[in-house]
Structure 1
């Protein structure tokens, strides 16, 4: 993984990436000493991303999961 790379002093550019990585660390890493290998670590992140995008509700988008928000936004755009 790579963090967002922006110029120094433009924290707004990295706000979304910073929030995402803070959530990843807070929800996936507590009480974790490591994984047996790189594949296991990648798989853990992959599973967390599925949860993050499909089930985890985000207050910034009306307490919807990102996938549900995208579907709703797309449906409204097509109807308009």
Structure 2
């Protein structure tokens, strides 16, 4: 969908990007997982779960003017898990 929208709206100067949360991050919803979230997160290359503000910084970066050449991209926020496979 990201690439399709980029093709449709890109000519009008709109940049379309997406953030894919590949794993669980620490939120109010995942708080109910208790220590199980920490156990899953420990298996990642970073060894911890992403914090909401970290994900928000990634989104803010992609929304900024400095990344206008980046469009039609899905950025995986996965603490290195996909590359570690």
User: Which category of TM-score, normalised to the shorter sequence, fits these structures?
Assistant: under 0.3
Q: Which has the higher strand share?
A: 2
Q: Give the TM-score normalised by the residue count of structure 1.
A: 0.28
**Structure with higher helix content:** 1
Relative contact order higher in (CA < 8 Å, ≥ 6 apart): 2
